[in-house]
């Protein structure tokens, strides 16, 4: 820094010397303040660099998390499709089971009717056999 001190023709050397010393002190103070401000600026720059590094790391973590979420959503969609397929199969099996139960109920009714007919036929044969014996007729057995 270049200082120009203009001396008046009638100024005394003591005054000029005092003025020079005052300016030198101001320059020294300004230089010290500049150094302090430079240190603060360097510290802020370093802090900014750290913050940018952390932001980049956080951004990387965010992107990784977003990829994880996308993968989890894809797995969920696949699981939901699988569940829908399983539910469709279960519904089909339930319909088949209901049809089989209906067939079983029908078969039971037919069996009950057949058993009733058999019982009636046995009773008729039993009664017929008694009547035939009472009349002295020979009994014929079915083979």
Residues 9-23 have pLDDT tens digits of 445 677 778 888 888
CB atoms within 10 A of CB 132: 13
Alpha carbon 12 to its chain centroid, in Å, reads 87
Residue 112 has, within 13 A of its CA and on its CB side, a CA count of: 6
CA distances for 141 relative to 49, 64, 119, 128, 133, angstroms: 113, 91, 17, 12, 13
Residues 67-105 have pLDDT tens digits of 999 999 999 999 999 999 999 999 999 999 999 999 999
pLDDT score at 1: 43
Mean pLDDT of the chain: 84
Q: Is the pTM of this model over 0.85?
A: no
Q: Which residues, in sequence order, are CB contacts of 19 under 8 Å at separation 6+?
A: 5
């Amino acid at each position: 820094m270049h200082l120009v001190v203009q001396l008046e023709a009638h100024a005394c050397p003591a005054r000029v010397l005092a003025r020079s010393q005052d300016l030198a002190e101001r320059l020294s103070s300004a230089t010290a303040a500049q150094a302090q401000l430079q240190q603060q600026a360097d510290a802020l720059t370093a802090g900014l660099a750290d913050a940018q590094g952390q932001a980049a790391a956080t951004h990387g973590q965010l992107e990784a998390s977003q990829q994880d979420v996308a993968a989890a959503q894809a797995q969920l969609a696949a699981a939901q499709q699988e569940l829908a397929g399983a539910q469709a199969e279960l519904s089909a099996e339930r319909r088949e089971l209901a049809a089989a139960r209906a067939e079983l109920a029908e078969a039971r009714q037919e069996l009950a009717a057949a058993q009733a007919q058999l019982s009636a036929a046995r009773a008729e044969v039993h009664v017929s056999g008694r009547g035939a014996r009472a009349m002295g007729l020979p009994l014929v057995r079915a083979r």
